[in-house]
Amino acid sequence: MNAATLPALIQRFFTDRLCVQMEASRHTVASYRDTFRLLLRFASTRQGKPPAKLTVEDIDADLVADFLVHGETMRGNTARSRNTRLAAVRSFFRYVALTDPTWLLHSQRILAMPSKRYVKRAVSFLDAEEMAALLAAPDRTTWTGRRDHVMLLIAIQTGLRASELVALRCGDLTLGSGAHIRCMGKGRKERCTPLRRDTAKLLVAWIGNCSDDTRPLFPSIRGEGLSRDALEHLVRKHCLTASRTCPSLAAKRVTPHTLRHSTAMDLLHHGVDQAVIALWLGHESVATTQIYIHADMRIKEKALSRVAAPALPPGRFQPDDQLLSFLDDL
């Protein structure tokens, strides 16, 4: 292999491997792109070369390890972000090893780098009172307030991901009998989520006589589709407004994904089976849905109520001898 082929390998990795062979989503391509931007700049500074002059040999396991540590210490990346960066680098060097076996040992050292373990915290979600306060926050006398109200209602009822919600078009709606929303979810899996009658009526009033199926369901003021950043901003804004009437919201960090968690917990509290919740949310495996069982204190309290306390007499505290207590305190 010519030492100057790293730029060509990276270009072919993105154009051929990711886009053509794997047909990776634009989110995956963007994530990998950001990782390699940071990696090449870091390697360029470390090796004293411009990125176009770097070779495969320059990016070894030691440099990758230092790059990951740099991301955590200097950029404030979490362990999850660190593992995402490492997954992108591994994918590239797996491609390098297949393209030219002379780099097999070099690539194996990077492929053998372990992912970092992290604390898996319980999911955060909103209860019924908090969801009601959030839905009441937008000012429905304005156009943006009506849009935000309908969007929040759809998010809480359907549990769509942020990317799925902002990508909705008018043609994705089926209203009337059997009203539902179609979306293309993670992993290119299309799914349909039913809508309540009151929600369907609200959507009919919102879209009016829209004949353009490609128009965004929740457009911006300029008529374009909302971005994920815009969605996160409006959720934070209305959460701040809702916290005035529901103080418990002030102690929570509410994001669009929190609304997705709230949907799952609401279904769980109403006795919906895990398999149905996984189908509702578009999870690949039912095991993914178990995080909501761990976070549900009601299920644990119900289980505790079925367990009898041990029939043991309560003990009584007996103070130590005064002399021994004096010696223990020395």
Q: Which residues are catalytic?
A: 161, 186, 257, 260, 283, 292
Residue 278 vs residues 10, 136, 186: alpha-carbon distances, Å: 37, 28, 13
What is the rounded CA–CA span in Å between residue 114 and residue 87? 10
Residue with tokens 């010519």: 2
The whole-angstrom separation of Cα 304 and Cα 251 is 28
- For residue 16, give every residue at least 6 positions away whose Cβ sits within 8 Å of its Cβ, in sequence order, or none: none
Tokens 């002030």 — which residue?
250
Q: Identify the sign of the CA torsion 188, 194, 200, 202.
A: negative
Are the CB atoms for 242 and 121 separated by under 8 Å? Answer: no
Phi, psi of 191 (to 5 degrees): -140, 155
- Please name the residue that has the structure tokens 């009506």: 146
CA distance 302 to 307: 9
d(CA 259, CA 232): 11
Q: Are 289 and 274 in contact (CB under 8 A)?
A: yes
Count of Cβ atoms closer than 10 Å to residue 131 Cβ: 22
Pairing verdict, β 173-174 and 190-194: unpaired
Residue 184 identity (one-letter amino acid) = M
Query: 161 with 292: CB under 8 angstroms?
Result: no
User: Of the candidates 41, 73, 56, 49, which has an alpha carbon nearest to the alpha carbon of residue 7?
Assistant: 56
